Amino acid sequence: MNTLDMTQIASSGRAGLWGQIRNNHLALAGAGIVLLMFLFALLAPFTGKDPAAIDISQRLISPCLSYPLGTDDLGRDVFTRILYGARISLLVGFVSVGIATIIGVILGALAGFYGLWVDSIIMRFVDIMLCFPTFFLILAVIAFLEPSIWNIMIIIGLTGWMGVARLVRAEFLSLRERDFVYAAQALGAFDMRIIFRHILPNALSPVLVAATLGVAGAILTESALSFLGIGVQPPTPSWGNMLIVGKQTLGSAWWLSVFPGLAILLTVLGYNLLGEGIRDALDPRLNR
């Protein structure tokens, strides 16, 4: 089978991806939630309110027409802050997963293509990284750095690439024995061209699933770090640091905990459902 045939098969699989997701009601619901969160993030500036504007005279107002989700202990509009928090969460999710995916794809491709000692060194490094609980590893690194959104994104990315590397390695171990790879080698193609031009495009299906699920994990991690006070710092609105205020006023202002918590829940649920739907669509064993 030549490269053109493999490309046609991959294109055919991608063409049928939406059809498979459309027939999966849970995946369709996940895609709807993800699109809704993107819409919220885009509409944040159009609320006409400053998410950091303090008005003590309006503090702890319950949900009403003027403030659909109420106000917090400093009189800030919770609805506006949740919309801006969606921007932070999506930014952290995509940037950190992008970093993790790039590292994982490169190392996994090298390990799977070359094998032998290259594979042994890379996979032993993966095993060492997996020995450390990811969240506590992130906590340890942040303890030595200044808490900021950029540090959070980089740290989550640098500690979340191991699963992608193992997936890509497994795909390369299978694909490197195909006829189109031998044909490319016989024609004198360089290793890097074979890896990134011929094999990698046919090994990206599990990476797409892992990246989609990884966004949900990154958002959850950022929210947890912000809730602990070592993530995104006030006054920048983040769903995690909004929950800190909600915890302090849980008995008298329930909306400060419920609405940011629901935003996290729905976003993570949406990406998980979408990721599972993409996995089902790309797995030929599950297609009937």
Confidence (pLDDT) at 184: 85
Give CA separation, 69 vs 60, 91, 188, 234, in Å.
10, 23, 64, 19
Query: 14-42+71-286 is classed in which CATH architecture?
Result: Orthogonal Bundle (1.10)
pLDDT value at position 284?
Answer: 54
- pLDDT score, position 80: 92
**DSSP-derived 3-state class of residue 40:** helix
Nearest to 155 by CA among 109, 210, 95: 95
Structure pTM?
0.84
- Give the C-alpha separation, 282 to 35, whole Å: 21
Q: What is the pLDDT of residues 44-87, one digit of tens each?
A: 888 888 888 888 888 888 998 889 999 988 889 999 999 999 99
Q: What's the pLDDT at 124?
A: 93
What CA–CA distances, in Å, run from 40 to 45, 89, 219, 264? 10, 12, 16, 13
pLDDT tens readout for residues 135-164: 888 888 877 877 778 888 898 999 889 999
pLDDT for res 4: 43
Cα 253 from Cα 255, distance rounded (Å): 6
pLDDT of the residue at 18: 64
Task: Supply the pLDDT for residue 286.
Answer: 53
- Residue-wise DSSP of 171-220: HHHHHTTSHHHHHHHHTT--HHHIIIIIIGGGG-HHHHHHHHHHHHHHHH
Name, in order, each residue with C-beta under 8 angstroms of 279's C-beta and a sequence gap of 6 or more. Answer: 209
Residue 71 pairs in a beta bridge with 77
Please report the pLDDT score of residue 38 as a whole number.
Answer: 92
State the pLDDT at residue 16: 58
Low-confidence spans in the chain with pLDDT less than 70: 1-21, 283-288
Contact partners, residue 9, CB within 8 Å, separation at least 6: 202
Burial of 154 (0-12, 13-18, 19+ CB in 10 A): middle
Instruction: Name the residue with tokens 């490269």.
Output: 3
Alpha-carbon gap, residue 82 to 256, rounded angstroms: 10
The phi, psi pair for 236, rounded to 5°, reads -60, 125
Q: How many CB atoms lie within 10 A of CB 179?
A: 12
So what's the pLDDT on residue 283? Answer: 64
The two tokens of residue 213 are 């699920």
CA distance 168 to 226: 32
Retrieve residue 33's tokens. 């939630």
* Confidence (pLDDT) at 287: 52
Can you tell me the distance from the alpha carbon of 261 to that of 255, in angstroms, rounded to the nearest whole number?
10
Q: What is the pLDDT of residue 246?
A: 86
Record the tokens describing residue 199, joined without a space.
Answer: 């094999």
Closest Cα to residue 99, out of 168, 170, 160? 160
Task: Specify the DSSP element, H or E, that contains 169.
Answer: helix 162-175
